[in-house]
Amino acid sequence: MGDEDDVFDVIVMGAGPVGLTAARRAARGGLSVALVEERLAGGECQFYACVPSKALLRPVELAAEVSRMPGLELRGPIDTAAVLARRDETVFDFDDAVLVRLAENYPATLIRGRARLAGPLRVETATRDGGRRSLRARHAVVVATGSDPAVPDVPGLREARPWSNREATSVRQVPERLVVIGGGPVACEMSQALHALGARETTMLVHGDRLLSRMEPFTGELLADSLRKSGIDLRFRRLAQRVERPEPGGPVTVHTDDGQRIEADEILVGIGRDVAVRDIGLETVGLQPHGPIKVDRSMRATGVPGGWLYAVGDVNGRSLLTHMGKYQARVCGDVIAARAKGLPDNRPSMRDIVDPASSPQIIFTDPQIWMVGCTEARARAEGYPVRVVEYDLGAIEGAYLQAEGYTGRAKIVVDEERRVLLGVTFAGPAVVDHLQTATLAVTAQVPLDQLWHVVPAFPTVSEIWVALLEEYGL
Ligand SMILES: Cc1cc2nc3c(=O)[nH]c(=O)nc-3n(C[C@H](O)[C@H](O)[C@H](O)COP(=O)(O)OP(=O)(O)OC[C@H]3O[C@@H](n4cnc5c(N)ncnc54)[C@H](O)[C@@H]3O)c2cc1C
Ligand SMILES: NC(=O)c1ccc[n+]([C@@H]2O[C@H](COP(=O)([O-])OP(=O)(O)OC[C@H]3O[C@@H](n4cnc5c(N)ncnc54)[C@H](O)[C@@H]3O)[C@@H](O)[C@H]2O)c1
């Protein structure tokens, strides 16, 4: 160890929601922690993803809810400036002081700069003032560098400097004409938000034949109906073939594979993520310098001698969701603390046992959509003895009371042999709060005969559970 080294028990690279959580748990376990952050503590999630996107979507959803309630009327169109001002509040005007204070209270030492692995238990930090700081960890280094938006190889697209989620969520001037490439959560959520906030001509180019292709097909169908009804031009089985933007920041032309051209003011790409491993020194510890960092169930990177490297959140590619990353980080922080003190590291809470493909996920559009566990297609492909039940949510009195013309659907996928739920999917207004019940039932494998005794209150949407179980035959 050189004198110039700063020594901590644990060094966390990246202070997104996941790095912050790993640091908090390790500190709670009595370890000294350094957190190295290149941009803003809070990460993509707090400043350019989950938080601002929901701040933009909630007023849109609320306006839709008002329109479904006889006797209520909006006084006028949505006030975009007010919505953007509130968005700014939710992201603390792009200032991370609150998160920094939070980290300092764990306590953790926040170091501003770009971190790079430099051999076993070593991290080099290029600080903002152009300097370098060499850090050494006594016990562990946690990589929590997240992910970056992917851009497809379409001629002219990179040169056109398309928007990613970052520009879309931090929008100041909503473009009047918008082309969106993609049909996943980012494309759907941001199309709905930006269209309602002023992108009068919004066109979505979806290369598959449905939205939200990892979910039950009815979710994409209900969402497509809603987007179309709002005036979005939804084009399936369409790819952007070429993009032209002669003037930086000027109008953009998208040529599609059916020979059409679309003129727009902005183009937004939402086609997935690249894990953020570029130039973080993976090769200095014997790992390939690309792709997700493979981890075991304690979040320890596999293939690193000495077992001191961990990777949590988007960067390990298991489940690109904040809540799943934070779950991994709780496991990771606790495991590191236990191993550092020579304590048992195999308590049940110290392993990630959730199948990443079964993670609970919500799409915060109108209609709200969520799923947990398997889709029917996946359960069948995996050879389960499957039976499914679907039910019209609008037929539930509690739902009907939520809105006139309530449209929604619920589906359960049952393992017939064990009579437990393999997967649950809901789509409809005001359904998000039902996800946790389903997550509990799926994760704890509550038998249907037991679920029958979980009596939902009248008149709430929760009575869907009785309807689904009765439809099943109970
Ligand atoms: C538009 C959008 C909406 C989303 N909405 C939701 C949602 O509603 N719910 C949900 O669960 N998930 C949502 N997600 C996914 C969620 O944003 C990610 O899963 C989450 O941000 C992952 O957290 P993380 O800490 O792993 O990474 P990040 O949030 O990406 O944080 C990583 C941090 O590491 C820093 N960093 C990177 N490299 C270095 C380095 N070398 N040195 C120092 N620092 C570094 C970055 O600056 C960043 O601050 C959304 C994603 C998008 C794009
Ligand atoms: N509410 C939420 O939880 C939420 C919201 C936004 C994003 N996220 C997460 O962030 C991550 C990124 O989301 P995303 O929507 O960007 O990615 P995604 O991978 O979930 O969906 C990308 C979509 O783009 C399509 N696509 C891929 N390549 C394409 C191409 N070359 N041309 C056109 N279409 C193409 C895919 O078929 C897919 O439908 C996901 O893991 C997602 O779950 C979560």
Pocket test for ligand 1, best of 37, 45, 280 (most atoms within 8 A of CB): 45
Give the whole-angstrom CA distance, residue 256 versus residue 54: 30
Domain final residue pick, 271, 290, 322: 271
Give the whole-angstrom CA distance, residue 358 versus residue 313: 16
Q: What is the mean pLDDT of residues 376-397?
A: 98
Ligand nearest to the CA of 369: 2
Q: Is 145 marked within a binding site? A: yes
For residue 77, tell me if it sits in a domain.
no
Domain final residue pick, 217, 250, 271: 271
Give the whole-angstrom CA distance, residue 315 versus residue 18: 10
Do 14 and 141 reside in the same domain of the chain? yes
Do 167 and 30 reside in the same domain of the chain? no
| Predicted local distance difference test score (pLDDT) of residue 1 | 41
Q: What is the mean pLDDT of residues 7-27?
A: 98
Going by alpha carbons, the residue nearest to atom 48 of ligand 1 is: 43
Q: What is the mean pLDDT of residues 314-334?
A: 98
Do 136 and 285 reside in the same domain of the chain? yes
For residue 189, tell me if it sits in a domain.
yes
Domain final residue pick, 323, 350, 377: 350
Q: What is the mean pLDDT of residues 426-443?
A: 96
Going by alpha carbons, the residue nearest to atom 38 of ligand 2 is: 184
The reply to whether ligand 2 has any atom less than 6 angstroms from the CB of 56 is no
How many domains is the chain built from? 3
Q: Residue 291 — pLDDT band, cuts 50, 70, 90?
A: confident
| Predicted local distance difference test score (pLDDT) of residue 3 | 41
Q: Is 314 marked within a binding site? A: yes
Q: Is 463 marked within a binding site? A: no
The reply to whether ligand 1 has any atom less than 6 angstroms from the CB of 333 is no
Q: What is the mean pLDDT of residues 144-167?
A: 98
Do 241 and 285 reside in the same domain of the chain? no
Do 18 and 132 reside in the same domain of the chain? yes
CATH of the domain at 253: 3.50.50.60
For residue 192, tell me if it sits in a domain.
yes
Average pLDDT score over the chain? 97
Assessment of whether the complete model's pTM goes beyond 0.95: yes
For residue 173, tell me if it sits in a domain.
yes
| Predicted local distance difference test score (pLDDT) of residue 2 | 42
% of the chain with per-residue pLDDT over 70: 99
Give the whole-angstrom CA distance, residue 318 versus residue 354: 10
Going by alpha carbons, the residue nearest to atom 24 of ligand 1 is: 146
**Token code pair at residue 336:** 């590191």
Do 8 and 107 reside in the same domain of the chain? yes
Give the whole-angstrom CA distance, residue 177 versus residue 20: 38
Q: Is 187 marked within a binding site? A: yes
Q: What is the mean pLDDT of residues 68-87?
A: 96
Contact 369, 426 (CB under 8 A): yes
Do 256 and 333 reside in the same domain of the chain? no
Q: What is the mean pLDDT of residues 293-315?
A: 97
Going by alpha carbons, the residue nearest to atom 14 of ligand 2 is: 272
Q: Is 99 helix (H, G, I), strand (E, B) or coil?
A: helix
Q: Sort strands 33-37 and 6-13 into parallel, antiparallel or unpaired.
A: parallel
For residue 305, tell me if it sits in a domain.
yes
Q: Is 275 helix (H, G, I), strand (E, B) or coil?
A: strand
The reply to whether ligand 1 has any atom less than 6 angstroms from the CB of 423 is no
**Token code pair at residue 61:** 């959803």
Is the ipTM of this structure higher than 0.95?
yes
For residue 80, tell me if it sits in a domain.
no
Q: Is 233 marked within a binding site? A: no
The reply to whether ligand 1 has any atom less than 6 angstroms from the CB of 325 is yes
User: What strands, in cross-sheet order, belong to the sheet with 420-428?
Assistant: 361-363, 368-373, 420-428, 409-415, 386-392
Do 172 and 321 reside in the same domain of the chain? no
The reply to whether ligand 1 has any atom less than 6 angstroms from the CB of 115 is yes
Ligand 1: nearest atom to the Cα of 313: 26
Going by alpha carbons, the residue nearest to atom 24 of ligand 2 is: 271
Do 255 and 380 reside in the same domain of the chain? no
Residue linked to tokens 């953790």? 108
Q: Residue 128 — pLDDT band, cuts 50, 70, 90?
A: confident
Q: What is the pLDDT of residues 256-272, one digit of tens each?
A: 999 999 999 999 999 99
CATH of the domain at 444: 3.30.390.30
| Predicted local distance difference test score (pLDDT) of residue 210 | 97
Do 167 and 109 reside in the same domain of the chain? no
| Predicted local distance difference test score (pLDDT) of residue 4 | 53
Per-position DSSP letters for 94-148, written without gaps between them: G--HHHHHHHHTTT-EEEEEEEEE-STTEEEEEETTS-EEEEEEEEEEEE---EE
Do 386 and 441 reside in the same domain of the chain? yes
Do 232 and 259 reside in the same domain of the chain? yes
Contact 311, 295 (CB under 8 A): yes
Going by alpha carbons, the residue nearest to atom 1 of ligand 1 is: 49
Q: Is 188 marked within a binding site? A: yes
For residue 50, tell me if it sits in a domain.
no
Q: Residue 124 — pLDDT band, cuts 50, 70, 90?
A: very high
Alpha carbon 473 to its chain centroid, in Å, reads 36
Domain that holds residue 241: 158-271
For residue 466, tell me if it sits in a domain.
yes
